[in-house]
Amino acid sequence: MTDAGLRVVMMVANDVTNDSRVRKEAAALAETGAEVTVLGVSANGLPSREMLDGALIVRVAVPYALREERKRSRTAHRNWRPPLVGYRYRATYVARSQRIAAELKELKADSGHAIARAKAGQGNPIKYKLGVATRLLRRARWKAAERAAWVRKGVGNKADAPFKFSWRAYDGVLHRLPWPAPWRKLHPEALDLEIAFGDLIDRIEPDVVHAHDMHVIGVAARAAGRASLRGRNLKVVYDAHEYVAGLSQYGARTRRSIAAWANHEREYIGDADRVITVSPAIATRLKAEHKLPHLPTVVMNTPNPADVSVEVSDIRSVIGLGSDVPLLVYSGGVTRARGIHTAVQALVDLPDVHLAVVCVPAVANDAVRALQKEAAELGVEDRLHCVDPVKPDEVVAFLRTADVGLIPILRYPSHEMALPNKLFEYAFAGLPVVVSDMPSMKDFVGRTRIGEAFVAEDAHDLASKVRTVLTDLDDYRERVADPAYQQEVSWAGQAAKLRELYGELTGQQLEVRRPGGKIEKTGTHLLLGPVNSAGQAWLWATALERAHPEVKAESLTTGSGAFDFRVHRTGTYKQYRSDLRWQLELTAYALREVTHVLFEAGRPMFGQLPGDMWTADVPVLDQAGIKHGLVFHGSEIRDPAQHRAQYRFSPFRDPEDELTQRLQSANNNVRRHLRRYNGAGPVFVTTPDLLEFVDNGIWLPLTVDIDTFASTQPVLEREVPVVLHAPSASALKGSAYVDPVLKDLDARGLIKYQRVQDVPHKELAEMVKSADIVVDQMLLGSYGVFACEAMAAGRVTVGHIADPVRDLLPTDLPIAEATPDDLAEVIERLVAERDTARKIADAGPSFVRDLHDGRKSVEVLLPFVRNEWVREDESE
């Protein structure tokens, strides 16, 4: 649960990055401690998550299948022609022509070969003449086909004209009709967004769903309906960014298209608990048209004062213009409806003035090219500067060196009621404005006296008003800089209104607890998971905190918890695989709080879809500046083929074995991802033998809680000693060699054999402490947690440790060497020579204390958590 106990999901049909209104509103709520998740549409088709201003941004891949099917169906209708009248696609005609050309070339080749054989006296003369006749028929056939294709194409071209004319006339009439305009037919993308967002909202279970703009209001309303079925009261906030019914028309945005979106809004706006909009005029209009019970709250899209101090290049520097040259600026979308062509035309009457257009989304689009062409025709192209946009929080600082900000929008109902955000961006940049005489803007500029209004689309009047402002520039700048005006247009006041609305809606008092929505990461915070294999993540974390209290370290497991290993944070397998709410809560927590992440076993930290590995989370962590690395425990990185080649005893002796093949496939997959990871973080391994399988690997010694395993029970004093074997899942093949041997010794009365598997860890610890001899694995050639625990308990530990592994250790390893071939002899000798066996047992606790009590592990981890780790190639 969050600090404020409030969970909010916002939605918008873009990728959020450049939508300043969505980001500011999300941050305003995140400042209260509310958990804010913003669902947006991925621009590159790849899902992603990141933390922005305290809110978790989740970009969803939306395939828009319904929209694309409508396009396909519409194109198919318009491409229809009667059978054999032309070709539906030009590619079909090209393919047919090329097929005919290829057949004719082949015919010439056949003729050449036949003539050559006849001249050489080869072949039968009668057969040659029959061949000539056949080739003449073939030629006639393909020549006729060539002619037919040409005729069919010609007929098609003739028929195309009336078909295309008819469709243009039909569409021309239809697009001008505001009725009928069924949104489900004309805008199926609204249902595509339902498919993309609806299930996510249901699984997150928010208290409030906030729909930004008309595209997703239906998604929000339907989510509230489904929540009611589950007995939940989901509040809906609709944020009308503009007056939908009066949107400007350009390109595919026709009168009928706009009417369809207006119908979509009309169908669902009554289901909203609160409506927000951007200007008083739109608020009044929405209340009257839709008979809303409340006047929509006006939250103007004003800038955040913090944006003014952002360090960024200014616009004069970018275009290379001196400070003494008058500079007008327009910043925003470039379409015909925005009226920028009027400003270009006005340059003719302003011979000393330059115009800079900050083009959203980019300079490289048709509307900008049309603007540049018009400037060239007017002879002012050298005074028009088109530049790419900067980041939303850099706009104000970027514009600060211009002289006048322009808003030359044309006359559309939505424009007449709008107070565009660029009006306030210009204000914080210190720029007076010249705006077209849309009623809302004209009244605002007239009341505040921060600029002038000109008659829309009148270039001469625009030039006149620009001269008025430039003549008295200092006075206009003084009014723009007036503290009272700056406070009126500051985002702080608008954010307070938004929080007040949410407070009334939810019955909670929302106060700013985290200014800016951010938590400053003042210390080091390590998260290890999501496996906590044999409790190691917990032991490393606690050892690190014990040695360095300034470091916070947490372990995470997403397993069943059947073995009772201690852990800091838990999640079930189902949550890890499919519970989006759990996944997003963990993601948000980590992005806000964590500075370092260690992925265990190559698994992602924040939830796993089929096939995902840790690399799925790396972009999220990189974007947040979180350092990351890997920890491999064994089977996920151990290469069966390499192990088989290097070790005499190996569980992978049979390459056709199903388990071996499965492990080999998994290992190959891990290695592919390691190549992609390319040393972006350290790669730790928990047993020395694994260093052979990982390039530039670092041994992170296993850790044992020595106090838990300390035993006062004497070793080998019973007449019949107790021998314990507890194979792990990865050692089951080795158990097939161990079991028969120990059962035979038990039957002979030499030992008392205890074999256990899948018991709680506390219970296993007591069995280890009371045993005389503990038999570890026989095939892997190394030692693991179980052997360390047995040595810590002072038990005689038996296992197969390959010579290369023993050579890597700084001290002698007190494990009695045994293989599948001589296990019986080793056990018999230990039972017979008890004093020698006790010396092996006595050496165990000190060995574990030196290497495996956590201090060595902390020493290995410190360079990573202190940001001192460097890649091998960087250190050379």
Is 32 in the same domain as 101? no
By DSSP bridging, strand 722-725 and strand 773-775 are: parallel
Which band of pLDDT confidence, cut at 50, 70 and 90, is reported for residue 442?
very high
Tokens of 276: 């927000």
Instruction: Tell which residue, 810, 797, 777, 798, has the closest CA to residue 841.
Output: 797
Is 167 in the same domain as 200? no
Residue found by looking up tokens 């210190």 in the block:
430
Q: What pLDDT sits at residue 516?
A: 62
Tokens of 18: 């450049």
DSSP label of 175: T
With contact defined as beta carbons under 8 Å apart, do 723 and 772 qualify? yes
Q: What pLDDT sits at residue 859?
A: 97
pLDDT > 90 fraction of the chain, expressed in percent and rounded: 64
Mean model confidence pLDDT for the chain: 90
Collapsed DSSP state (helix, strand, coil) of residue 801:
coil
Is 146 in the same domain as 264? no
Between 167 and 302, the more confident residue is: 302
Is 229 in the same domain as 284? yes
By DSSP bridging, strand 55-60 and strand 48-52 are: antiparallel
Q: What pLDDT sits at residue 562?
A: 54
For the chain, what is the radius of gyration of the CA atoms?
38
How far, in Å, CA of 239 to CA of 19, rounded? 13
Is 688 in the same domain as 737? no
How far, in Å, CA of 79 to CA of 90, rounded? 11
How far, in Å, CA of 108 to CA of 105, rounded? 5
Domain boundary among 651, 682, 699: 699
Instruction: Tell which residue, 557, 481, 493, has the closest CA to residue 761.
Output: 557
Residues 6+ apart with CB under 8 A from 6: 29, 32, 33, 34, 35, 207, 208, 502, 506, 508, 510
Is 465 in the same domain as 401? yes
Is 126 in the same domain as 141? yes
Is 544 in the same domain as 464? no
* Cα 874 off chain centre by: 29
With contact defined as beta carbons under 8 Å apart, do 244 and 265 qualify? yes
The reply to whether 500 falls in a domain is no
Domain boundary among 267, 298, 329: 298
* Average pLDDT estimate for 8-29: 93
Is 686 in the same domain as 722? no
Q: Using one digit for the tens of pLDDT, what is the confidence trace for 116-138?
A: 888 888 878 888 889 889 999 99
How far, in Å, CA of 383 to CA of 411, rounded? 26
Q: What pLDDT sits at residue 1?
A: 36
Q: Using one digit for the tens of pLDDT, what is the confidence trace for 671-708?
A: 999 998 988 999 999 999 999 999 899 999 999 999 99
Instruction: Tell which residue, 759, 758, 752, has the closest CA to residue 723.
Output: 752
Distances (CA, A) of 669 to 577, 615, 676: 19, 12, 11
How far, in Å, CA of 362 to CA of 387, rounded? 8
Collapsed DSSP state (helix, strand, coil) of residue 771:
coil
Is 216 in the same domain as 324? no
The reply to whether 844 falls in a domain is yes
pLDDT surpasses 70 at 4: no
Q: Using one digit for the tens of pLDDT, what is the confidence trace for 258-308?
A: 999 999 999 999 999 999 999 899 999 999 999 999 999 999 988 776 656
Structural domain of 802: 706-852
With contact defined as beta carbons under 8 Å apart, do 763 and 812 qualify? no
The reply to whether 580 falls in a domain is yes
Residue found by looking up tokens 């621009």 in the block:
43
162-171, 664-673, 709-718: least confident range:
162-171
How far, in Å, CA of 433 to CA of 427, rounded? 8
With contact defined as beta carbons under 8 Å apart, do 590 and 628 qualify? no
* Cα 275 off chain centre by: 30
Residue type, 502: Y
pLDDT surpasses 80 at 88: no
Residue 231: give its domain's CATH number: 3.40.50.2000
Residue 589: give its domain's CATH number: 3.40.50
260-269, 389-398, 512-521, 606-615: least confident range:
512-521
Vertex 744: Cα angle to 740 and 746 (nearest 5) = 120
* Average pLDDT estimate for 506-526: 81
Element (H, E) at 725: strand 722-725
* Average pLDDT estimate for 445-458: 95
The reply to whether 498 falls in a domain is no
Domain boundary among 664, 681, 699: 699
Domain count, the chain: 5
Which band of pLDDT confidence, cut at 50, 70 and 90, is reported for residue 766?
very high
Distances (CA, A) of 22 to 241, 326, 828: 10, 34, 75
How far, in Å, CA of 357 to CA of 376, rounded? 15
Is the full-model pTM beyond 0.85? no
Edge-to-edge strand ranges of the sheet holding 384-387: 384-387, 354-360, 327-333, 404-407, 433-436, 451-454
Residues 6+ apart with CB under 8 A from 419: 278, 279, 300, 301, 440, 441, 444
Is 533 in the same domain as 558? yes
Is 225 in the same domain as 321? no
Residue 454 backbone dihedrals phi, psi, to 5 degrees: -120, 165
* Average pLDDT estimate for 205-219: 96
* Average pLDDT estimate for 357-362: 91
The reply to whether 513 falls in a domain is no
With contact defined as beta carbons under 8 Å apart, do 196 and 12 qualify? no
Which band of pLDDT confidence, cut at 50, 70 and 90, is reported for residue 207?
very high
